Amino acid sequence: MTDRIVLAYSGGLDTSVAIGWIAEATGAEVIAVAVDVGQGGESLETVRQRALDCGAVEAYVADARDEFAAEYCMPTLKANGLYMDAYPLVSAISRPVISKHLVAAAKQFGASTVAHGCTGKGNDQVRFEVSIQTLGPELKCIAPVRDLALTRDKAIDYATAHDLPIETTKKNPFSIDQNVWGRAVETGFLEDIWNGPTKDVYDYTEDPAFPPAPDTLTLTFDAGVPVAIDGETLTPLQIIEQLNRRGGAQGVGRIDIVEDRLVGIKSREVYEAPGAMVLMAAHRELENITLEREQARFKKTVDQRWTELVYDGQWFSPLKRNLDVFIDETQKYVSGDIRMELHGGRATVLGRRSETSLYDFNLATYDTGDTFDQSSARGFIDIYGLSAKTASEREQRLHGGPDLAGAGVQK
């Protein structure tokens, strides 16, 4: 039987050319698989037909939008997943779900190999191949751009020579990856990190400098996951989509950072993730009122480790799964309402309300009704400060007094 290769197909120039390119280089039949993670653009039927026109023996489209939103975006929200405190893991979380569908397709069509269109310089090749190896250890991976010398110029020549039904003249200076959780833009003049992004970089967001009137909304969460907007019950996908629209109109969620890639390169990326950033702000504040203090402090370190594992392509790894269990357990009481205002690039929390809140008005108030026993504070501080005080007394005995220089006090 002829060898078969499943190709992660986007419908763009590189992966369209890759169909014939891989077939010629390996003698295998190519099965194109397009996965819908809410990237928008062309209809997937158009994309499927193009794959067949470019020589794929089979073309298969998987609608993974709800799965991606519920099983990849929601865990990222529960983990407050912001790589380098800024990037909501847009591409990092799409690779594992795409890989899952590629591996399923490889099994279904009896393929030995999975191919993807990544270069050898980025994180995405690692995420694809580590995920594929984990889910289908018997499968091989190839990357035509990286392994079969498929450069952009060669792709254009090939498409023209073979009369492939794909635009070769459109000159987009950027490399873009997008899905319902956000959009990543790199290369072109953004590679000079002194250059600010121009208007044409953005697509999911309007300019926050000229916002429409403020937009206020109430988000309801149940166990760490948003379940309704303004009282209307919605799926995770619907919630992200609606917040992309409403947040995007206010210019919320524009991010511009130089980030550390797993492969050792620092790279400049511009992101837009309006829905994700609105949800993150709301979720974090709801955690502030519902998590116990020590749990919250410890969760921060777990969140960060989870985020780094996911950024580094370890979505299906044992440690990531273990941390999921911890994170899920912490979300038990992260339920309630967050009232927010979206305006001029910012998502601001205005109010919080929760049946499972740990905020106790009577403990917090400075007005009548105070139930906090202030007389206990003095003894608490004496004991709490005792070890530092004892160490300081030793310092004084051996070296004479603490250094108060700069405070204007003579020793």
Choose between 17 and 59: whose C-beta lies nearer to ligand ARG: 17
CA distance 151 to 212: 44
Q: Is 29 in the site for ligand ARG (CB under 6 A)?
A: no
- Cα angle vertex 201, ends 32, 265, to 5°? 70
- Catalytic pick from 53, 63, 175, 339? 175
Residue of the chain from 123, 131, 244, 307 that contacts ligand ARG (CB under 6 A): 123
The continuous run of DSSP H or E covering 227 comes out as strand 225-229
Instruction: Provide the total of helices (H) and of strands (E) in the chain, helices listed first.
Output: 15, 14
**CB 276 → ligand ARG: shortest distance, Å?**
13
Q: Give yes or no: 14 in active site.
A: yes
Cβ density class 163-200: b for 16+ within 10 Å, e for less: ebebebeeeeeeeebbbbbbbbbbeeebeeeeeeeeee
CA distance 180 to 248: 12
Pick the stretch among 47-55, 59-67, 74-82, 170-178 that binds ligand ARG (CB under 6 A).
Answer: 170-178
**CB 350 → ligand ARG: shortest distance, Å?**
32
Q: Give yes or no: 131 in active site.
A: no
Pick the stretch among 38-46, 144-152, 179-187, 339-347 that binds ligand ARG (CB under 6 A).
Answer: 179-187
Q: Give yes or no: 163 in active site.
A: no
Answer yes or no: are the C-beta atoms of 92 and 311 closer than 8 Å: yes
Choose between 12 and 247: whose C-beta lies nearer to ligand ARG: 12
Choose between 175 and 218: whose C-beta lies nearer to ligand ARG: 175
Q: Is 186 in the site for ligand ARG (CB under 6 A)?
A: yes
CA distance 207 to 203: 10
How many chain residues are in contact with ligand ARG, going by CB under 6 A? 10
Q: Which two tokens stand for residue 157?
A: 């020549």
Q: Give yes or no: 95 in active site.
A: yes
Residue of the chain from 10, 16, 76, 91 that contacts ligand ARG (CB under 6 A): 91
- Catalytic pick from 36, 124, 303, 312? 124
**CB 183 → ligand ARG: shortest distance, Å?**
8
- Catalytic pick from 95, 127, 183, 254? 95
**CB 270 → ligand ARG: shortest distance, Å?**
9
Q: Is 129 in the site for ligand ARG (CB under 6 A)?
A: no
Give 110: exposed, middle or buried? Use CB within 10 Å, 0-12, 13-18, 19+: exposed
CA distance 153 to 168: 10
Q: Is 269 in the site for ligand ARG (CB under 6 A)?
A: yes
Choose between 126 and 282: whose C-beta lies nearer to ligand ARG: 126
Pick the stretch among 180-188, 191-199, 213-221, 315-323 that binds ligand ARG (CB under 6 A).
Answer: 180-188
Choose between 254 and 346: whose C-beta lies nearer to ligand ARG: 254
The continuous run of DSSP H or E covering 129 comes out as helix 124-135
3-state secondary structure of 126: helix
- Catalytic pick from 4, 10, 14, 335? 14
Residue of the chain from 14, 29, 177, 206 that contacts ligand ARG (CB under 6 A): 177
Choose between 268 and 339: whose C-beta lies nearer to ligand ARG: 268
Nearest to 257 by CA among 274, 243, 241, 271: 271
Any idea what DSSP says for residue 332? G
Pick the stretch among 71-79, 106-114, 176-184, 285-293 that binds ligand ARG (CB under 6 A).
Answer: 176-184
3-state secondary structure of 215: strand
Any idea what DSSP says for residue 60? E
**CB 92 → ligand ARG: shortest distance, Å?**
4
Q: Is 175 in the site for ligand ARG (CB under 6 A)?
A: yes
Nearest to 7 by CA among 44, 42, 57, 49: 57
Amino acid identity, position 119:
T
CA distance 303 to 90: 16
Which residues lie near ligand ARG (CB under 6 A)? 91-92, 123, 175-177, 184-186, 269
Active site (catalytic) residues: 14, 95, 124, 175
